[in-house]
Amino acid sequence: MNPLWMPVIAAQALWLRSTLQPATDPGGGTSGTAPGPAGTPLRLAVVGDSTAAGCGAAGDEEAFAAGFARELATRTGQPVDWRVVGQYGATARRIRHRLVPQLGDRLDMVVLLAGVNDVMAGRGPDQWHDDLTGILDDLVTRTARVVVAGLPPIDRIPVVPARLAHYLGDRAAALDAVSRQVCARNPERTTFAGASTGAPPPGFFGADRFHPSSLGYRWWAQEVAALTIID
């Protein structure tokens, strides 16, 4: 990044913080079941920030967790009991120390949705590395498999000014690179599911122009499922 742009970026960041009013009410529910043809229900948990909680979704079945559970049930032929532990504004540090301990044990899969707040707060790759490592070290004692979702298209968020969006996109890419490296250390148990490099589909973002819409969550769940679930 050309340092000459930093005053512009700083001014845009101040403007964004003063004007941003994203949807803070979770819209995705905290638990549910995706039906499957037969078998013992799989136990799925989704943990993370406001995207895990479903902010921006229209209803309990419209957020990431329910959509991913449906994909998992379809691909495995088993019903899926899902639950969510998510919090608006949570960084990886809060997820590590406050949210992961709420998950319980004997899970079949945990999906981590995190990183946007770390990017917005200016937390660097080293901090992300330390907290993500701590999160995964804890999760592998609770579940058979962990999926770390790549950051959503933060550089495409409509409410973010263009120059700031480019800067945040670079920071998000740096965190995703760390996630890929950390997950690769234990490929039998942890998987990094990077977001698509192309533009998200029309309607991906919700009414607040910050969080995904119901359509956006459904598309994101399908993308992550395609990268992580073996039929």
Return the domain boundaries, the chain.
26-196+203-228
Residue 29 confidence (pLDDT) above 80: yes
DSSP strand pairing (146-149 vs 109-113): parallel
Q: Which residue has the tokens 């549910």?
A: 32
* CA distances, 63 to each of 83, 99, 223 (Å): 12, 19, 14
Do 191 and 145 meet the contact criterion of CB atoms below 8 Å apart? yes
Q: From 176, 211, 215, select the one nearest 89 (Cα to Cα).
A: 211
CA distance 184 to 31: 30
For residue 23, the tally of other CB atoms under 10 A from its CB is 18
pLDDT at 83: 96
> How many helices (H) and strands (E) would you count in the chain?
8, 6
At residue 8 the predicted structure's pLDDT band, cuts being 50, 70 and 90, is low
pLDDT in tens, 94-131: 999 999 999 999 999 999 999 999 998 999 999 999 99
State the average pLDDT for the chain: 90
The CATH number of the structural domain formed by 26-196+203-228 is 3.40.50.1110
pLDDT in tens, 188-216: 999 999 977 678 899 999 989 989 999 99
pLDDT at 224: 95
Element (H, E) at 132: helix 125-139
Global confidence as pTM: 0.93
Q: From 200, 199, 211, 201, select the one nearest 58 (Cα to Cα).
A: 211
